[in-house]
A and B are shown apart, each in its own frame.
Chain A
Amino acid sequence: MRFTGHLDLHRAWERAFRRAGLPLAYSEGFNPHPRLNLASALPLGFTGEREALDAWLEQDLPVEDVQVALLRALPPGLQVSQIESVDLRLPALQTSLEASEYQITFQRPFPELAERLAALLLADSLPRRWRERDYDLRPLILDARLPDAPPPSLPIDSGQQALCLRLSARESATGRPDEVIAALGGDPQAARVHRLRLLFKE
């Protein structure tokens, strides 16, 4: 499941709704598509929990019924933790997203991780290049620290190092955890990235 890209994940949710027999509302127009929006794309290879999505249904159904139906229809690797009925006038999730928290575990020893992290945070700017665009990574790092104890949700072998990040996730100001790992001099492919939660505007 973690090697499913954003668009494919979107379709996996659509199909889960269909299998659940839930009447997804469709957009108007020549090429109608189901109205379902994931709050934030999760890059290929990352895992996540407490992710969020907006789904529009054609009928007003009790939240419990939706939850029961959906639970039965989910593919391996997707879970539903909470469903809320929300006011249709509320802004879309994407526009109210502020930040994301990540937990990174390194598959191989990362020497001097603490020292490098301290140096990274002291820097005024971290010029980087992503998809042929220069940008400054530093202001996108809202918080970065080594965890006191590994969270129980992640099975971590003894000696495996971890890193907790809070990165900006505003539109056009989104920090990528793999970029932080690279800026630390690490190998992003040798790290497991797990998104712990999304933080929205009040």
Chain B
Amino acid sequence: MLSPEQINNQLDRILFRVQKPARYTGGEINQVVKDWEQIPTKVALVFPDLYDLGMSNLGLAILYELLNQRPDVLAERAYAPWSDFEAEIRAAGLPLYSLETKHPLAAFDILGFSLPYETLYTNTLNILDLAGLPLFSAQRDETHPLVIAGGHAAFNPEPMHAFMDAFVIGEGEEVIHEIVDVYQAWKKCRASRLELWRSLSQIWGVYVPALYEAQHHPDGTVARITPLDKAAPMPIIKRIVGKLPPAPTHFIVPYIDTVHNRAPVEISRGCTRGCRFCHAGIISRPVRQRSVTEIIQAVEQALSNTGYEEVGLLSLSSSDYTHIVELVETVSQRFAGRHLSISLPSLRIASFSVDLMDALKDSRRSGFTLAPEAATERMRQIINKPLSDTQLLETAGAVFKRGWHNLKLYFMIGHPSETLEDVRAISDLCKAVLAEGRKTIGRRAQVTAGVSTFIPKPHTPFQWAPCDTFEQIQAKQDLLKRSLRGPGLKLNWNSPQDTMLEAWLSRGDRRMSQVIYQAWKLGARFDAWKDRFRFDLWQQAFTEVDLQPDFYTHRPRPLTEVFPWEHINAGVRKKYLADDYQRSQAGLTRDDCREQCYACGILPSFAALRRLNPGDLWQCPEVRSPQVLASSLQPTNPSQIPAREN
């Protein structure tokens, strides 16, 4: 294996020849460099896309800070190299290395991949290959690092099951420590990899795919998923933290521009709104919040540690944060005159949200974003984002009156039961919003419509729905391109090919891992990048593996179908999701569940944890029902409920 010195010597020349060499150098402020020889356990945290994106990922920043707080662990970073750098290091025979100390990835004990979205899968294989590691978990042995992954996409781990030793399903803050502990104990006794897998599978929230088997019906659907090991848990219940731990504040500050140049502070996790297409809304339940004091302290510390000029107050639905008014008032008073810009994403469509943004006095006033997701009241009832057109137009009017010129509206096409009339309504609504703007600020008003295409994501009430076909998507997009034009109007859309790939990957079963492998071999990389994405390679990969892509996308599924992710449990009952899907077809909505519990399953799943974190630490209403508690899915063995303090 090459030493860091050998790697450094070669890098010197290579870096001159590539775009943005600072992607590959490390050395930023707040990076943690520990003594390699003195630290027993080495973890590489890998984001399988460019540095420019990965540096803005909050999940990895949290794990980096937590792991490096341990005296017995060092955590370093690695990202996917762009094609120019990849060609250079392959030609020079260099492995992919960590930014902090330039050690080859293969020299680490644990490689932890972040998989927030599915189009990172081929990059993940490419990184394993650049590290000189066998791609398939079955081909690696005790001399190789343990390869694990987590993130939102891991809630359907099956398409990547062949490459990972283990997945973290859910939140990483506590489980990462337990994984390290298990690894350390295993390494001491020099046991087999199977022993390591078995011990890992005993940790709440860890899924070891090699310990399970999936059987398929002749029509390709899953018949059953069964544990091969007596002790392997079934189902695998997602991991959550009962209370949000202290927010990280020692963010590494990149020297080059990244997607978000800001200090992110998570104000709450989860969402109680129940939009039926929303993956995050289900998998990140229940809603847990930080206090205003905690948030302000985190902002203050993050700013003094980083020197950033922007703060992002993150959540899935900012205006639903219980103390949002107090938070915004405190932030705007406390940080006034410091030339800061404070962003508050994901605001509800209500004039109240405009008041909030106005109070933050964002000096740039660049654009205001609202996400009605559908343009007719009927459609919004189906997706459970109820909102009247009047409410939307009033909010839009308020946005323009308060000085914003550009209003961005996010929509989705392809929702279940959508007609061309519902699509046409998108352009009508945008025009009505523009007219509202013109009343106030004349021709300066601008409306940008971002129209993506619905994908029925696992674990959502819409997981039974089919995707639109290419032809349907094309017809809907053509309609929009024809009708949504003119001065002051702008339309952005995703290509149907992008949508299809994301749908295949997010709904895939175990057989999909062969398709991913084949696509990677054919040269697929950076599938999330418009100029890199090669749809033809994926089609070829499907053909070579002899699978039908349409099977994953255009098939309506009976409520009785066993999904590839059937053994992964997000704490929400399948029956609840099915009921909600049926309510949707009847045009029935469900209110915000902070007011009333609809028994989605979260409380019985995590009853013990809820008892430890009572009151408004969770936004779930207090429910008392002995029956519910008895049916708890949560592991009853107390050793699986972590009592880690630090």
Contact = CB atoms under 8 A, between A and B. Distances in A.
Interface of A: 1, 3-5, 8-9, 12, 14-19, 21, 26, 31-32, 34, 44-45, 73-77, 107, 189-190
A57 to B, nearest CB: 13
A107 B12 contact: yes
A54 to B, nearest CB: 18
Could you say which of A3, A21, A77, A190 has the most chain B C-beta atoms within 10 Å of its C-beta? Answer: A3
B339 A15 contact: no
Contacts of A107: 12-13
Contact of B255 (A8, A34, A74): A8
Interface stretch (B21-29, B141-149, B353-361, B594-602): B21-29
Given A26-B339, A107-B12, A3 B306 contact: no
B305 A19 contact: yes
Contacts of A21: 304
A14 B307 contact: yes
A189 B309 CA distance: 35
Given A3-B22, A26-B339, A107-B12, A73 B307 contact: yes
A1 B27 contact: yes
Contact of A8 (B31, B257, B307, B364): B257
Interface string B591-629: 000000000000000000000000000000000000000
B557 interface: no
B16 A18 contact: no
B306 A15 contact: yes
B611 to A, nearest CB: 42
Given A15-B253, A16-B307, A107-B12, A3 B25 contact: yes
A19 B306 contact: yes
Contacts of A5: 22, 256
A190 B15 contact: no
Contacts of A76: 27-29, 31
A176 to B, nearest CB: 14
Interface in B1-59: 12-13, 15-17, 21-22, 25, 27-29, 31
4 smallest beta-carbon distances between A and B, as pairs: A15-B307, A18-B307, A75-B29, A19-B307
Could you say which of A8, A19, A31, A77 has the most chain B C-beta atoms within 10 Å of its C-beta? Answer: A19
A44 B21 contact: yes
Contacts of B298: none
B576 interface: no
B308 interface: yes
B512 interface: no
Contacts of B339: 26, 32, 34
Interface of B: 12-13, 15-17, 21-22, 25, 27-29, 31, 253, 255-257, 303-309, 339, 363-364
Contacts of B22: 3-5, 8
Contacts of A75: 28-29, 253, 255
Contacts of A73: 307
Contacts of A32: 339, 363
Contacts of B25: 3
Could you say which of B13, B15, B257, B307 has the most chain A C-beta atoms within 10 Å of its C-beta? Answer: B307
B307 A3 contact: no
A48 to B, nearest CB: 15
Given A75-B28, A77-B27, 12 more contacts: A3-B15, A4-B22, A4-B256, A8-B255, A12-B255, A14-B309, A15-B253, A15-B306, A26-B339, A32-B363, A45-B16, A76-B28
B304 A19 contact: yes
A73 B306 CA distance: 9
A159 to B, nearest CB: 16
B341 to A, nearest CB: 11
Nearest to A20: B307
A16 B308 CA distance: 9
19 contacts: A3-B22, A3-B255, A5-B256, A8-B256, A15-B309, A16-B307, A17-B307, A18-B307, A18-B308, A18-B309, A19-B306, A21-B304, A32-B363, A45-B15, A45-B16, A73-B307, A75-B253, A75-B255, A190-B13
A34 B17 CA distance: 32
A3 B17 contact: no
Contacts of B27: 1, 76-77
Nearest to A74: B29
B276 to A, nearest CB: 41
A152 B404 CA distance: 58
A128 B638 CA distance: 76
B5 to A, nearest CB: 13
Contacts of A44: 21
A17 B309 CA distance: 11
A3 B14 CA distance: 12
A118 to B, nearest CB: 28
A174 B307 CA distance: 33
Nearest to A16: B307
Contacts of B308: 15, 18
Nearest to A17: B307
A128 B189 CA distance: 67
Contacts of B306: 15, 19
Given A34-B339, A77-B27, A4 B307 contact: no
A42 B253 CA distance: 21
Contacts of A12: 255
B255 A189 contact: no
Contacts of B256: 4-5, 8
Given A19-B307, A21-B304, A75-B29, A4 B12 contact: no
A189 B17 contact: yes
B236 to A, nearest CB: 42
Nearest to A34: B339
A47 to B, nearest CB: 12
A178 B309 CA distance: 35
Nearest to A15: B307
B172 to A, nearest CB: 28
A4 B29 CA distance: 13
B335 to A, nearest CB: 12
Nearest to B15: A3
Could you say which of A15, A16, A45, A73 has the most chain B C-beta atoms within 10 Å of its C-beta? Answer: A15
B344 to A, nearest CB: 21
B4 to A, nearest CB: 16
A44 B21 CA distance: 9
A45 B17 CA distance: 10
Contacts of B363: 32
A78 B502 CA distance: 43
Contacts of B28: 75-76
A75 B12 CA distance: 21
A74 B27 CA distance: 12
Contacts of A74: 29
Contacts of B364: 31
Contacts of A9: 255
Contact of A4 (B17, B255, B305): B255
A80 to B, nearest CB: 15
A77 B28 CA distance: 9
Given A17-B307, A19-B306, A77-B27, A1 B255 contact: yes
